[in-house]
Structure 1
Amino acid sequence: MNNNEIIVPLLPLRGLLVYPTMVLHLDVGRDKSIQALEKSMVEEHKIFLTTQKDVSIDDPTEDDIFTMGTLTQVKQMLKLPNGTIRVLVEGLTRARLKEFYDEGDYISSKIETFEDDPEKDVESEALMRTMLEYFEQYIKLSKKISAETYSTVTDIEEPGRLADIIASHLPLKLKEKQEILETLDIKERMDKVISIINNEKEVLSLEKKIGQRVKRSMERTQKEYYLREQMKAIQKELGDKEGKTGEVTSLKEKIENANMPANIEEIAFKELDRYEKIPSTSAESAVIRNYIEWLISLPWTKATTDQLDINRAEEILEKDHYGLEKVKERVLEYLAVQQLTQSLKGPILCLAGPPGVGKTSLARSVAKSLGRNFVRISLGGVRDESEIRGHRRTYVGAMPGRIIQGMKKAGTINPVFLLDEIDKMSSDFRGDPSSAMLEVLDPEQNSTFSDHFIEEPYDLSKVMFIATANNLATIPGPLRDRMEIITIAGYTEPEKVHIAKDHLFPKQIEEHGLNKGKIQMRDEAIQNIIRYYTREAGVRSLERQLATICRKAAKIIVGEGRKRVVVTEKNLEEFLGKPNFRYGQAELEDQVGVATGLAYTAFGGDTLSIEVSIAPGKGKLVLTGKLGDVMKESAQAAFSYIRSRANELKIDPEFNEKNDIHIHVPEGAVPKDGPSAGITIATALISALTGRAVRKEVGMTGEITLRGRVLPIGGLKEKSLSANRAGLTKVILPRDNEKDLDDIPESVRKELEFVLVSHLDEVLEHALVGE
């Protein structure tokens, strides 16, 4: 390697490097650089090019440039309109900076030049061939370098020049290019270039693999995109103008936010996938959409937190309802257990009682006291099993049953769910809804309730079911067995007065736009309304009468200009007209052949007058008054008992052959039935046959056997209330019903004398006048 020293102008380059033998265009703009070029044109057109270490420096010093650079020949200069100079240079040899001179206008340098040895040996030949082979492979992989470049390179004989030319075509960093420039040993330089080419080959090979993988993924994505666009176009042609994409995305978000169990969510996504693929005009599309929306709208995990404060709950129940102690006690018991266990299956209660006693409003108060959502469904007249369980999804217009609809309306998994009028369900060829209710109301089964529409199990175990019924007799046994029956008998007169004063009258005043200053009502007036204008177990009719008074009062205030209306017992007829009932239905005098019985109906307790008429004849027994089979049998039993005991009762033993006997129960249009009229019929018969009158103040209830035994009955509380309401003072009842006396309100017990009997002889002793 030959070398010598010369002094030439120096031109620092920014981000650029020139190898020997390279021909390159440069744009020069810095003043010192332009002066250095002009100086070089004077001195043999030679200039030393070296690269700046930091491109951001405008006026570099000796420390800011690399010491190794290239001595170049300036071939051409051209001044551009913007003041810069475009210069064409050709690299001559490598050169190292020995001394740095800042002349003020330009930079001059003393450099030492290095000429490459053109001689080559076998090793150099081998390195050249390897380098060319690797470069050829690189060109094939890269495709950024033309094939002509390779053919130009193959003609180069000098090893050092070949290494420089190939390095200039590689995408190297400035630092790597500078490193090759600084490598004076030709074999070492070729080794470095071979190593760099090999590394670039591997990088390009890996890039190619990644590119192919990305291309495959892109092709798949593009294919899906294309197919989706096609599907959108097809849907648009078929009439679905908007397409389903937005709708499907919206449904997907809703499913994700619905907090469904994993298995339900999986089914929802599967159905959504089907929905997306089916055209909108298909009938099945609407069915699937409807199904998905039902799954989304049902509560699966959302629950209200029970307000487990017994004192607060008791306050709410007491405030909303007067009396009804058993129901309130049951709700408070449930709260207490819930507080101790923190987990308890919802109880299934059935509030049984006549209309108007507050069954439905009580259920609402229970929900309020627990802090739960309330939902009510009416079962009156339901006769289709699918009303409870839902329809199969394959049917046109299919919908879930009322239970699932109620849960959607409630919005939580633990509402208070009121099943109103559960005794009014019927069955026909479409199925038996009361049988479908068995699963709903079974605490062991309702955790996996199956609706035909939803198909998947739904948990009802946290729901507090409250059913209401007027008549337990019409509820099938298996269904009744699943419920805890709480009987609400009806209200006593004092309770009705209290309810009217504190609840009903204030409510009616508000509804009719009045206030306490405009209308007042005396307690005696309320009592008279209860006695003479209503006859019921509940308070519904009482509320209607109070509404009538408020309407008439409003008319007086508006029409006559009166500021205040006071309703008293004296002016009550002005508002309500003549009394509808006679207070106390007790007979005005003792009568022969007429006995007062006590009956239990769907509307509460009632009194029943039984009349017997004896006339000469041929022994016919006539029963009238629309009696049911049970009452007819009671009459036959009483008749047979009297015949067997005629002598002891001082009755002609042949009375049945000489007389026609007619037993009649008034109000013939009203059906009457039940096992509690036996002793009443027997007493009326014996009274008619013996001529002994029946005491007017005595009411009685009880069934009779052929031997005269008195059997227990039901509904004693309701019957006692009706006896008190009718003005009776003595009630004869079976001895086996002694345990039920505790259920009778104390105010009623004080006014009635209860006589417990076990045989008809005891009944006659208390019921008939004389011995």
Structure 2
Amino acid sequence: MIFFRKNDDTPQAPEPGPQGLAERARAAELPPAAREAVDAELARLANTDPSAAEYAISTNYVELLLSLPWNAVTPDSLDLERAEAVLDASHAGLGQIKDRILEHLASRTMRQKSEAWILVVDDEPIARENLRHVLVREGYRVETAENGQAALERVRRFEFDLIVTDLKMDRMDGLQLLDKAKAVSPATKIMIVTGYATVDTAVRAIKTGAVHYLTKPIDLDEFRASVRGILAQRPAESASRSPILCFVGPPGVGKTSVGMAIAQAMGRTFTRMSLADLRDDAELRGHRRTYVGALPGRVISALRGLSVRNPVFMLDEVDKIGRDVKGDPAQALLEILDPEQNCRFVDRYMEVPFDLSGVFFIATANSTERLAGPVLDRMEVVPFTGYSEEEKIEIATRFLAPRQLREHGLTHPYPEFTREALQGIIRGYTNEAGVRGLEREIARVCRKIARVCLSEGKTGFAGDIAPDMAVSLLGPRRFSHETAGHGPQIGEAVGLVWSETGGEIVSVEVSRMRGASRLLLTGSLGEVLKESGQIALSHLRSNAVDFGIDPGFFSEHDIHIHIPAGGVSKDGPSAGLTMAVALFSLLSGRPTSPGMAFSGEISLSGRVLRVAGVREKLLAAVRAGITSVVLPMENAAEVEEAGRSMASLPRIVLVSEVRQALAAAFDAPSGPTPPEAKP
């Protein structure tokens, strides 16, 4: 029989029970509040019977505090070129979002790589010059001031990391400078160096905000070590507060994957938590330990599992949080997301503050309508717009098709989706702003090809996937988008609308009949759309003479406004201009100019007001073959931004009044000439 001798150098696991926890507690680097809580709980455990229920509760509590990453952080990768390469390799388009992330990384890089600046203040030239010489040799950037008043003037114009000041000086002594400099620049550290040291002045200096107090003659080694220790905290403090972003956009536009790319670009750990239908605020804040089966909140639990306190933390579907008698979870987010509070976040289970300021929180939502105002106020909204057809084709070619081909074993060799096939899938089988549905359709094609290959005994499919092949595999097309192919009709105008699936065009139809001056609105319209119809009619009636309309017409006729597809609910503040144009077309007996679409809300006085979703509406116009689009003048910036990200735009006419829109819409102008169109 062979015996193996155990290696005595093998590290031993901590003993179970209070003794083992006490050893771990002594070795752990805990903040003062956590140290006090652990010591108190260990003292209670020492006097508790292990068979009692309280014993397990206390043990679990101490285990949690000892396992949390109080000081463990992942250093940021601040290489902007690498970060840009990661974002470009993982996502097509999204230029504005990528710029925002790179700007954040650039600001962190500037802050962390900036040199330390020190201001030396002393009324003795020799002492001042000696300190400056010592600090310069240590590699710091140093400026000097001959008294407190001169130093204060420099602090007002320049931010210093550290001020080294004498105590007794003419015009303004060190304590006065300390008080006034902290008011001007709270982040600046101040060290007092004096030959008139007393216990009273030392106590007053520390209470006022000094971080160190040295007596003359100075021990240079002690002075260097003190300065080095003070400035060593500077990078950690500059990087302690992370931004809180809220990605808002329709489904499938890449909000979650962008968050993952941010974590990869920064070199941080990524975690995601879905808040959809979260109803109990204890899920975020934790349960009090008095409850049976109490647990910490999901945020603290996630950080415990990650073992770092500065991950990229995605709060997904934040606009779908529920609410019931157990509390409002959205209000629990205030303490988590508020930069002024989350540095001391208190979980109910822990009852000890934990610093969340280093966490890079990213919330995602489809819209901001359901977000509580205080929660929204604490986040920086980053809008995600829908993709154009060109961008969808590029995304499918670079990412979606290769991934699905690999997942379905079609790699020997790779089939290739032609551009026309992808275009046909996008137009006939998807109706979305993002690309989630497009990837599902590509997966359907791959599954059907894999089945055909197996039935024919082939190991792969060689060749291109053409449009006719895609249609034969996917079957009849499921979506047909409205087009501007038919000629203009009297009493009809084409409007541009936005929905969660992207932009669309709709026809607004108006007819008249004998009646008693009633306005009928049909098409499953919401209250805002109904009000837009009332405003459009009231504006035309109040200015009937100016528009060349018989004022007596309205008292003898009913007017019916209809938007087709009545089975689909419609609402929103952007159809007023389209309704006004359709009404004027009916009342004047003239059709609108061919290939023209409108979007804008109007006021009773005839002003054309700003609308949202301009890029999605322009994408819909391009897809439908619209040649001219009339938009509010207030949307000029969005039109310019869309022009930079879209390959081609229709002719854009920007208007500020209804008269200008009518002048652009009809062959025989009425009113002033519209502003010159921008290509």
TM-score range, shorter chain: 0.7 to 0.9
Q: Is the 8 A contact 2:482 2:506 kept in 1?
A: no
* C-alpha deviation, 1:561, in angstroms: 2.9
Is it true that 1:568 corresponds to 2:466 in the alignment? yes
Q: Which residue is equivalent to 2:42? A: 272
Measured at CA, do residues 327 and 448 of structure 1 come closer, stay the same or move farther in structure 2, by a change above 3 Å? same
Give the one of 413, 416, 419 matched to 2:309.
413
Secondary structure, counterpart of 2:313 in structure 1: strand
Q: For 1:685, which of 572, 580, 583 is the aligned residue?
A: 583
1:726 and 2:624 are equivalent in the alignment: yes
State the 1:507 CA deviation: 0.4
Q: Which residue of 2 is the match for residue 665 of structure 1?
A: 563
Per-residue CA deviation, residues 305-344 of structure 1 (Å, 9 max, x unaligned), is 1111111111111100111112212222222222232223
Moved more, 759-768 or 505-514: 759-768
Quick one: distance in 1 between partners of 2:566 and 2:349? 48
Aligned amino acid, residue 461 of structure 2 = R
Work out whether 1:750 is the aligned partner of 2:648: yes
Which runs of 5 or more residues in structure 2 are unaligned?
A: 1-13, 113-237, 670-679
Aligned partner of 1:378 among 268, 274, 285? 274
Q: Secondary structure of 2:534's match?
A: helix
Give 1:504's match in structure 2, choosing from 396, 400, 415. 400
Residue identity opposite 1:440 in structure 2: I
Cα displacement (A) at 1:358:
0.3
Q: Tell me if structure 1 keeps the 8 A contact 2:592–2:667.
A: yes
What SS does the aligned partner of 2:648 have?
Answer: helix
- Please point out which of 443, 448, 465 is paired with 2:361: 465
Which stretch of structure 1 is more off in the superposition, 648-657 or 705-714? 648-657
Give the Cα–Cα distance (whole angstroms) in 2 for the partners of residues 392 and 706 of structure 1.
57
1:528-607 to 2 correspondence within 5 Å?
528-562=424-458, 563-565=460-462, 566-582=464-480, 585-607=483-505
Q: Do residues 346 (structure 1) and 346 (structure 2) align?
A: no
Change (3 A) 1:282 1:433: same
Residue identity in the other structure for 1:488: F
Structure 1 residue corresponding to 2:74, chosen from 297, 301, 304? 304
Q: 1:690: how far off?
A: 2.9
How many matched pairs?
528
Partner deviation per Cα, 1:254-284 (whole Å, 9 max, x = no partner)? 4344432132022113213323433345443
Q: 1:712 aligns with which of 610, 615, 624?
A: 610
> Which letter maps to 1:546?
I
Distance in 2 (alpha carbons) for counterparts of 1:281 and 1:768: 89
**2:208 equivalent to 1:438:** no
CA distance in 1, matches of 2:360, 2:512: 57
Kindly tell me: are residues 555 and 769 of structure 1, through their superposed partners in 2, closer, same or farther at Cα, counting changes over 3 Å?
farther
1:126-275 matches, cutoff 5 A: 246-275=16-45
Query: Aligned to 1:728, what secondary structure does the other structure show?
Result: coil
Contact 1:352 1:469 in 2 (8 A): yes
Distance in 1 (CA, whole Å) between partners of 2:106 and 2:659 is: 50
State whether structure 2 residue 84 is matched by structure 1 residue 314: yes
Asked if structure 1 preserves the Cα contact closer than 8 Å seen for 2:497 and 2:506, the reply is yes
Q: 1:406-451 deviations in whole A, cap 9, x for unaligned?
A: 2223320110011111122233332222222122112122111122
- Which structure ranks higher in relative contact order (CA pairs < 8 Å, sequence separation ≥ 6)? 2
- Aligned partner of residue 16 in structure 2, secondary structure: helix
Inter-CA distance 596–383: structure 2 relative to 1 (3 Å threshold): farther
In structure 1, distance between residues paired with 2:74 and 2:358: 11
CA positional deviation for 1:392: 1.9
Q: What residue number does 2:538 align with?
A: 640
Contact 1:376 1:406 in 2 (8 A): no
Contact 1:400 1:451 in 2 (8 A): yes
Amino acid at match of 1:361: S
**Are the structure 2 counterparts of residues 583 and 718 from structure 1 closer, same or farther at C-alpha, using a change threshold of 3 Å?**
closer
SS class of match (2:568) = coil
Change (3 A) 1:260 1:671: farther
In 1: Cα distance, 2:509 partner to 2:23 partner:
75
1:386-397 to 2 correspondences below 5 Å: 386-397=282-293
CA 661–383 in structure 1, closer or farther in 2 if over 3 Å, else same: farther
Residue of structure 2 equivalent to 1:626? 524
The Cα of 1:643 is off from its aligned counterpart by 1.1
Give 5+ residue unaligned stretches, structure 1: 1-243
Distance 1:466 1:532, change over 3 A: same
**Judging changes above 3 Å, is the alpha-carbon distance between structure 1 residues 610 and 749 closer, same or farther for their aligned structure 2 residues?**
farther
Mapped partners of 2:652, 2:21: distance in 1: 69
Q: Distance in 1 between matches of 2:645 and 2:97?
A: 20
Q: Give the C-alpha shift of residue 704 in structure 1.
A: 0.6
Find out whether 1:702 has 2:600 as its counterpart: yes
Contact conserved, 2:643 with 2:649, CA < 8 A, in 1? no
Compared CA separation, residues 249 and 703, structure 1 to 2 (3 A): same
Are 1:720 and 1:748, in contact at CA under 8 Å, matched by a contact in 2? Answer: no
Q: In the TM superposition, what whole-angstrom CA distance separates every residue of 1:708-763 from its partner, at most 9, and x where no partner exists?
A: 11111222222222222333221110111112222204463633111001111221
- Deviation for aligned residue 1:488: 1.3
The one-letter code matched in structure 2 to 1:723 is A
The answer to whether the Cα contact below 8 Å between 1:724 and 1:748 also exists between their aligned partners in 2 is no
Deviation at 1:516, TM superposition (A): 5.9
TM-score after normalising by structure 2: 0.74
How far 1:769 sits from its partner (Å)? 5.1
Whole-Å Cα distance in 2 between the matches of residues 561 and 386 of structure 1?
57
Find the aligned partners of 1:502 and 1:568 in 2 and give their Cα distance.
17
Amino acid at match of 2:419: D
Instruction: Supply the AA of the counterpart residue of 1:738.
Output: A
Q: How many Å separate the matches in 2 of 1:397 and 1:597?
A: 57
The percent identity for this pair of structures is 46
8 Å Cα contact 1:626-1:668 kept in structure 2: yes
Q: What RMSD in Å do the two structures reach over aligned CA positions? A: 2.2
Deviation at 1:583, TM superposition (A): 5.3
Seen in structure 2, the aligned counterparts of structure 1 residues 457 and 720 have a Cα distance that, compared at 3 Å, is same
Contact 1:608 1:665 in 2 (8 A): yes
Moved more, 368-377 or 725-734: 725-734
* Aligned counterparts of 2:567 and 2:291: Cα–Cα separation in 1: 45
What amino acid is aligned across from residue 284 of structure 1 in structure 2? Answer: E
Give the counterpart letter for 2:55 in structure 1.
S
SS in 1 for 2:662: helix
Counterpart CA distance in 2 for 1:314 and 1:251 is 45
Q: CA deviation at 1:770?
A: 4.9
Q: 1:384 to 1:669 in 2, by over 3 A?
A: farther
SS of equivalent to 2:338: coil
CA distance in 2 between counterparts of 1:734 and 1:547 reads 41
Q: 3-state SS of the aligned residue for 1:591?
A: coil
In structure 2, how many angstroms separate the alpha carbons of the residues matched to 1:726 and 1:258? 65
Distance 1:629 1:256, change over 3 A: farther
Name the counterpart of 2:101.
331
